Amino acid sequence: MIAADHPGGAGRAGRPARAGQTVVTGTIVELAAGRRTGVIRTPDGSRVIFSASAVLGDFEALAVGHRVNFDLDRAWPGRNASRVLREPPGSTAPSKLDSPPDLRYTGFDQTQNVRTYQFEAIASGYSVRRFTITVDLLLLLKHRIGVQDAPALCLRKLAADLRNSPESPRHELDNEDLLAFALSRAAAVHRKRPAFGHRRGAPPPGPWKRPPEAG
């Protein structure tokens, strides 16, 4: 059995993790790739700092303008975000809704090697709807995907599923989904590798070496 990680308490991991912690939504307004930090602006105009270690998923995939939700612990000095999770781009709700839902990650449960991630969908004028999406942790190992990437993958999968099955509360991140992610990640890494040209023939003589004289 793969052990569950439990940030903020034993037996269950979720949001909020402890008293005084609030789930907040905001927009990334600054990113410093060198320092691997960023700044989020919340709807009330506040600015919250976060670091790469607080991101659920890939820090390099974030960009200025991305909407994220995160935990804000008001008991700690300063305004630092934890468990920063990007909201899926273009997430849609059933066609009958007037506006797209705000999908928020609320935590997970784990039984044996199956982890069940929980999300809430909030749309203007409608009550909160709850969804779950399961993933077999052995499949993450099979495709060499870190468990820290799972919430972001589940959120993306859920946003896609809601386009086709808006009424279904239960979803699954299966082998095909994880294989597709692993292949796209490998392709992205390959594209980032520098291309080196091949030089034909002997290199020209340097200034410190004369070419041999003709006999």
Domain with CATH 2.40.50.140 in the chain: 20-86
Note whether 66 and 28 are within 8 A (CB).
yes
Q: How big is the chain, counted in residues?
A: 215
Q: Are strands 114-122 and 102-111 parallel, antiparallel or unpaired?
A: antiparallel
C-alpha span between 55 and 61 (Å, rounded): 10
pLDDT greater than 70 at residue 209: no
Q: Is the pTM of this model over 0.85?
A: no
Which amino acid would we find at residue 25?
Answer: T
How deeply is 50 buried, as exposed, middle or buried, from its count of CB atoms within 10 A (0-12, 13-18, 19+)?
buried
Predicted confidence band at 213 (pLDDT cuts at 50, 70, 90)? Answer: low
Note whether 49 and 38 are within 8 A (CB).
yes
> What is the homologous superfamily of the domain 20-86 according to CATH?
Nucleic acid-binding proteins (2.40.50.140)
pLDDT of residue 94: 41
pLDDT of residue 11: 34
Assess whether the previous peptide bond of 194 is cis (omega < 30° from 0).
no
pLDDT tens per residue across span 99-145: 456 788 888 999 999 999 998 887 655 567 888 999 999 999 999 99
pLDDT tens per residue across span 9-56: 333 334 444 445 567 888 999 999 889 999 998 887 888 899 998 888
Which two structure tokens, joined as six digits, stand for 7? 């940030």
Long-range contacts, stretch 36-44, CB < 8 angstroms, 24+ apart: 38/62, 40/68, 40/70, 40/81, 40/84
- Tell me the β-bridge partners of 50: 38
